[in-house]
Every structure is written in structure tokens, then in C-alpha cells.
Amino acid sequence: MSNNKYFINTTKVIILIITLLGNASLYAQNTSTNNRWGKNAHISKTSLTLDGVKPIASWIWDSGPENPQNYYLLVRKTFNLDKVPLNAIAFISAYAYADVYINGKLFERCPMNCDPEYQCYDKFDIAGYLQKGANCITAVVQNFGVGLHSQMNARGGFFLQAKLNFPGRSVNLLSDSSWKVTHAKAWNTQTAFRDTNARLIGFIEEFDARLWPKNWQSAMFNDAAWENAKIIGVPPVAPWNQLTVIERPRLSRSMIKPVRQWKSGNKMVYDFGVEIVGYPRFTINSRKEGIKFEIGTGERLDTNRAPLLRVSSDHSEKYTTIKGVQSWRPYTWSGFRYFSIETNTNIDIQSVTAEFACYNYEMQSSFACSDAQLNKFWEIGRHTMRINSIDTYEDPWREHTQYIAGDSRYMQIFGNYAFGKSSRLLSAYNIISGAQSQRWRSDGAVRSRYPTDYFLQPGSSAYLADYQLEWMLMMYEYFLYYGNDELIEQLYPNLKKAMDYYKPFLDTKTGLLANLPGWIVLDWPSTYPIEQKSMITGTNCLYYGALNAAANIANDFGHDPQQAEQWKKEAAELKNNINKRLWSEKDQAYLDSYGGTRVAQQSQVYALEYGLADDSRKKGMIELIKKSGKASEQSFAYRVLKVMLSEGNEQWAMDYMRKNWGAQTRLASFNGAWQEGWDLPWGSTSHAWSSGPTALLTEKLLGIEPAGYGWKTFIVKPTVSDLTWAKGKVSTVSGDISASWKKTAGNHFFLKLSVPKGTKGRVYLPTSKQQSITINGKPPAKKSTYQMYAAGNNWYVITISAGTYQFECEINHAI
């Protein structure tokens, strides 16, 4: 099947991905904000104001039920302007979502997915969409009316508050009873859930174009038959009791065309070449009205080369025609590669396109090296990150769910290297959501899937004890990548409460965490299981890491040195207990669990990653990791390779990456994005937690890693292995860090490095021959301003301040 003419090769996939990446700046805002968050990005403190602006607009709805199920509401407001304003700062919100249009053009899908108790209000400057004369703002508001896997149940509503500023005056534009509303009867409210088990995504769409009001988004439309909006109240008003303002870049949107098409039974199938996220769109000419047909999207094809529309969740829709030419796209976005339309003799399909829509990252970080395959891996990972980033980090195909840590901890790391500081907002929002989830539990447990109020039973993905530990580690790593942040600082009480959650689970006999409730993930348990008895090595290693991370946060940001010392003491005791209770002398490795017999690869990785093993134990652990080969799922393999690269096993790690990620690119199911697992027949073919190479290639091969908060200090420690050169850049909150290295005949090594103002770099040169080192063409003087010392027999370390440098040395060992 991999040779089927309907599958394109990896090179063409990369070309398509790079084309999509090139469209990332479409629809970006022009206003500038604090660039440490990336352009046009910031999160306000949750309060009773709109980031200091008094709310004066009202939440509005229609006169029907407050919380109707599977309901769409049309909202519109017309107004006249004698000139275009200098700016027009608007706060827009809805529950659950609104596609907002200004003068007939889609402006944005608002707001970010949130808990209504901490309702998000998107802040935008809408002046560029306004015009002199008649103007019209419209919105299609969706209300689920039930709790979903990725959505809390709350009543429907819409909100807009804008201040239009002109020279010498300003005008308010407010949602109130003068707005017009009507039920969007074109959507059938009685359709089924896409997934009846976990209520993934929402409802199947059935749209009847005959019931759609023609030209309703025009200022000239006659809305006299529509009712005036019913006022719910000025916020804060239940259920939207607290206000969080989100300033974010508008989604990157671009229209793409399929690369091929074919007939399968009674369906036309369209292949977009790679996995994308967004909305399929068709234009047809129907010779009759009332013709009903099915459309749908899929990541995979069935045996008849038609998209698999109903795997895990149902991605089909129904459309009923008017007579003549018409275009439509579903309201629900999805991840997909394939799109199908049922054919009919009375319908001519004129065109099919897709609106690619994802978070508008800044594309300022880069990587390239002498291995073209690794360069492809880096680009595939960045593309996968983009299609898993909408308004939050989330799976685009099956779940639409933001996981707190777990998935998002990987995505914070990978986003840091793929996009730099412009990934900050999504990481901050994820950590903040983790703190907000604690309103549901008095014991401090962090909800792992949020926001949601459905599918919360024991053993589900709502509370994952290891993900809560990952949340604490993610918070510490956030400070490393983005520096001091008062929004994250203020979560310190939540962190303390989350840490306290684990104390009752410490076994008095062994001093280990025992009998943690719920589902323990660690690595994906159904494919590469870890022996899980009551006291698990992986969770205890994570707890050790979390104690140290919490101690650093308490000391540096929580202004709580006494608590920091307590956590450090508890970490030291836990380390001793892990090494005493979980080490197997017979196996020269850590057991998976206390009282167990298995010594899995993952347990050794956890112990190495968090510094629990002394040097005398590492040899046997590393040999076990090598012997095990591919013994973890694709996401966890990032941690496997990071440990092996850190411990000097560069070539093994490089061979593993090429072999196993390379094998996935040759699967028939490969869609240009990394899959949820190595070869899961049921899993998503677009899961960003599998994008490990995008981080590792910059982090370890180019060798750039933060050493202090906000990259104020950083390390450059290249991994050469069998490469001859590598280059790249990380866009950080402290400035761009650029590096390039090459090795030449005669074992000469050259490194160029740009160090931003206000930072210091610690450079590791792969030599033990101090006399071979030159800096900017000259040997360092004996009384040099550079701090230089030997690190073992393999490296010389030089500390440098801001500037541009060229280093040269002679390699005298295998690196």
C-alpha cells in the first residue's frame, strides 16, 4: 500500500509543509505589545474588570431557553461611521464559541476555550476591518448545552465591548438589546454526538441551506423580523463570574487546494497531501433544491480509498442544497488529510479547498544540519506542533482537548525550540488552567483534562496523578524558557496545595509514594507497559523531580525559603528511599515497581533524567536501554534520546532517531505529521507529543539549552556524532541565540555563536587540548576575561558574555 499512487513521498510532504509554514503570517495583527510574549500576546490577571477596563457591555442571548442543546444563534449589529477610527480595541467573548465577522469577512473564532468561571475575553483591534459608512458586525454563536470531553456545560451567550477612538473623541460599541438575534434554523438541533462514549468534540452537523438567511451579514440586510437581543447582564454575571483578558495573534489562516482527487463508489475523494487542521470547503452548482448528501473528513483511507469518517469519533456532516451555486464549510474544525463528498447527478462540484487555521506562531527559530533526513524530521515536528495548536494545545482530530501537562509539557518543550517565545502564551494558559482546575477538588488534585465536567469517573483521563507531577515540572521549565512571570508566580499557593496532595500517599515503611489513585500513564501503557505495582519507580522519580522543582520555585519566586528547605529535605529522603528500595543489584538497574521483577527501559530513563543514579550505576542502566532498543512509545522516546545524548551515547541516539522516526515516514498512514504512537491503527496521525526530534536536534545536536531563568544564562554543548555541520537559532525572551558549527578534515572544529545582550553563554568545546583553542582567531590570553576550565577529559568550558564569537579547536575524542 505504501507504493500506492495515492500516497505521496516524504519529500513532497516536506514541500507542502514548508508551503503551509510560509503562510503563518496571514491575518496577523499590526498592534504591538510586550514582545517577551511574542507579538500581540498576553494574558491578564483574572479579575472583575477587562484588564482594568470597566465592563459596560452586556452578555446577550435570545428569548428562548438559556441553555439549548446543539444550538446555533445568529447575532448582528449595524452602525454607521463618518470615518475609520484610529483604533478600535474590542473585547469579544461567547459561550461556547462565536465565529465573528466584520462587514462579511471572518474576523476570528472567539474566545479561547475556557472554564466559564474564569471566562476568557479576547482583546483585538478591529479598526482594520471597519469602513466609512455602513458597517455590520455579525456572529454565529454555538452552544453545546451539555458537558463534553473538552467543554464545560454552561448557558449560551455573546459579548462585545469596543471603544472606537477618533481624533479628539471616542465612541463605544456595546452588545445590548439593540442587537438583533435569531435562531440559526439551518442547523438541525437533533443530531447525534460524534462520540457517545466520551462526547468527543460535540455534535454532527446537519445543515439545510434552504433555511439560511441570504446576505444576512450585509449591512443592507433587512433584520426587522429578527428579535432584539435579551440582556443577560454586565459581567461579572453568572456563570461568567471572573474575567480573563487574552490578547493573542489571530489564527493563521490560508486557503489550500487538494493535490489529487479520485472517485470511490458514490464519493469524490480529495487529498490535501498532508495532515492539516481547519475546515474543508466546497462550491457546488445544484440543479435542484433539497438534495441531501454527506461530506466528511478523515486522516486515513478505508480499503476502497474513501476517508474513514467514523473512527473514534464521527467526522461526517450532512448538507441540503438550495438551487444554484453555493458554498459551505462546517462550523466545526478538524484535523484531516482527506475530504469526501457524496455525488449526485443533479450536482456539479465546482471546487474544493480547505481553510488551514492554526495558532499564529512566529516562525523565527530554525535548524538545519548535514543530514537531510534529520532536517525533514525537524520540519515535520514543527508542522505537527502547528496543527496541534489552535486556541490551546490540543489534538485536532479526536479530542479537541487541552491536557494539563502530560501532552502539553512535551509541547511546551517542543514549542520552545520550534517557535521560541511566541509559544509562551499557550504554555502559560495551560499552566494557569491547571491551577484553575483545583476549584473542583479541595485536596489539591489537578485536573488533567480541562476544561471539562464530563467523563470524570475513576480511571478516566480527568485526574492523572503523574500528569499532576508533570504540571509542577512544567511550571519550573516555564520559568527557564520565559523567565519571571507574575501570572505564574501568583500560582504558588496552588503549587503548594498540589504538593500537599501527595503526602497522604507516602508509605510509612518504605518512604515511597504508594497506591496513587486513578490511571497512571507514564509511558503509553497499552503498547509498552511498565510493571505497575503499588509503589512505581516512574511516579517516585517524577515526585523527586517535582520536589526539587517546587523547592526552586519556592526559593526564587514564592519568597518562601522555609518551604524550599523542607521540600529539598523531602527530596533528599526520597532519593535515598528510591535508591534503597527500587534498585536491583541482580539486574544492575531500577525495578519498575517495589516488589516487582521487571526492569523496563522507561524506569532507567526516569532515574537518569532526574539525577537519581550515581555514576557507578549508570553503565548497567545505559546498557539495558541500548539492549532494549525501541521499548517505549514515540512520545516517551524523546526522554530516552535526551538521556542517551546527555550521557554520551550520541551515535546510538542518532541511529535510533533515524531508524524509528524514519520508519514512520514510510508508513502508508504517514500524513506529514507525527502520529500518536509508532504504528497505532486507532491513534491520531497528528499528535505533537511525538515531535521529539524538533527539540532534540536544536537542544542536543546544535546544543542550545537554558541554564537560568528566561535564558539569562544558557549552555551551548554541540553533539557532533556523524554530522559534519549544524546551524540554527532559538528565539528566546532574552533575544535570538544563533549558533553554527562544522568539523573539517584534520579533526578541526569551528563554532560560531551569537550571544544576546544581557545574557551569558557557557560554551563546551569538544577538546582536551587547550592549546588548540582560539577565540575570534586568537588564543585566549592567560589573564583572559573568559572563564575557562576543563570538564573531564572531553570538554573545555568557556563562559562568555554578549557578542558574536568564533571558536576553533582540535577534536581529539569521539563525540
Tell me what pLDDT residue 675 has.
Answer: 97
pLDDT single digits (tens) 320-363: 999 999 999 999 999 999 999 999 999 999 999 999 999 999 99
* Backbone phi, psi, residue 389, to 5°: -125, 105
Query: How far is 129 from 106, CA to CA, in rounded Å?
Result: 10
Burial string for 743-758 (b: 16+ CB within 10 Å, else e) reads beeeeebebebbbbee
pLDDT tens-digit map of 421-431: 999 999 999 99
* pLDDT, tens digit, 9 for 90 and up, residues 404-414: 999 999 999 99
Rounded CA separation 644/441 (Å): 39
Q: Which residue has the cell 524550599?
A: 564
DSSP 8-state code for residue 44: P
Q: What is the mean pLDDT of residues 438-464?
A: 91
User: Which are the contacts of 208, defined by CB distance < 8 A and separation ≥ 6?
Assistant: 185, 186, 188, 320
What's the distance, CA 646 to chain centroid?
Answer: 26
CA distance 154 to 456: 17
Q: Where residue 786 falls among pLDDT bands split at 50, 70, 90? A: confident
Cα distances (Å, whole numbers) of residue 371 to 164, 190, 358, 701, 722: 53, 54, 29, 12, 9
pLDDT of residue 15 exceeding 60: no
Task: With beta carbons less than 8 A apart as the criterion, state whether 534 and 514 touch.
Answer: yes
pTM across the whole model: 0.96
Query: E-strand spans in 321-365?
Result: 324-328, 334-342, 347-358
Residues 682-725: tens digit of each pLDDT: 889 999 999 999 999 999 999 999 999 999 999 999 998 899 99
What is the predicted pLDDT for the residue at 8? 46
Rounded to the nearest integer, the mean pLDDT of the chain is: 94
**pLDDT of 242 strictly over 50:** yes
Residue 652 has pLDDT above 90, yes or no: yes
Contact 129, 85 (CB under 8 A): no
Is residue 319 within 8 Å of 207, Cβ to Cβ?
A: yes
Percent of the chain predicted with pLDDT > 70: 95
Residue 4: pLDDT above 50? Answer: no
* 6 pLDDT above the threshold of 50: no
Residue 26 confidence (pLDDT): 33
Kindly report the CA angle at 547 between 471 and 506, in degrees rounded to 5? 100
Mean pLDDT across 96-107: 98
Query: Strand, helix or coil at 257?
Result: coil
Please, are residues 59 and 179 in contact by the beta-carbon 8 Å criterion?
A: no
pLDDT value at residue 29: 33
For residue 420, give the DSSP letter: G
pLDDT, tens digit, 9 for 90 and up, residues 140-180 = 999 999 999 999 999 999 999 999 999 999 999 999 999 99
Tens of pLDDT, residues 566-589: 999 999 999 999 999 999 999 999
pLDDT digits (tens, 9 = 90+) for 364-423: 999 999 999 999 999 999 999 999 999 999 999 999 999 999 999 999 999 999 999 999
By mean pLDDT, which of 418-432, 601-615, 790-804 is the weakest?
790-804
Q: Is the pLDDT of residue 2 over 60?
A: no
> Residue 50 is placed in which grid cell?
477587562
Q: Which three cell numbers stand for residue 527?
A: 503498547
Mean pLDDT confidence for 15-29: 50
Q: Where are the alpha helices (H) located in 490-558, listed in sequence order?
A: 492-500, 537-556
Burial-class residue 594 by CB neighbours within 10 Å (0-12, 13-18, 19+).
buried
What's residue 9's pLDDT? 55
Termini Cα distance of the chain: 40
- pLDDT of residue 444 exceeding 80: yes
**What confidence score (pLDDT) does residue 490 get?**
96
Judged against a pLDDT cut of 50, whether residue 31 lies above it is answered with: no
Residue 241, Cα to own-chain centre: how many angstroms?
27
CB 154 within 8 A of CB 69: no
The mean per-residue pLDDT over the stretch 743-754 comes to 93
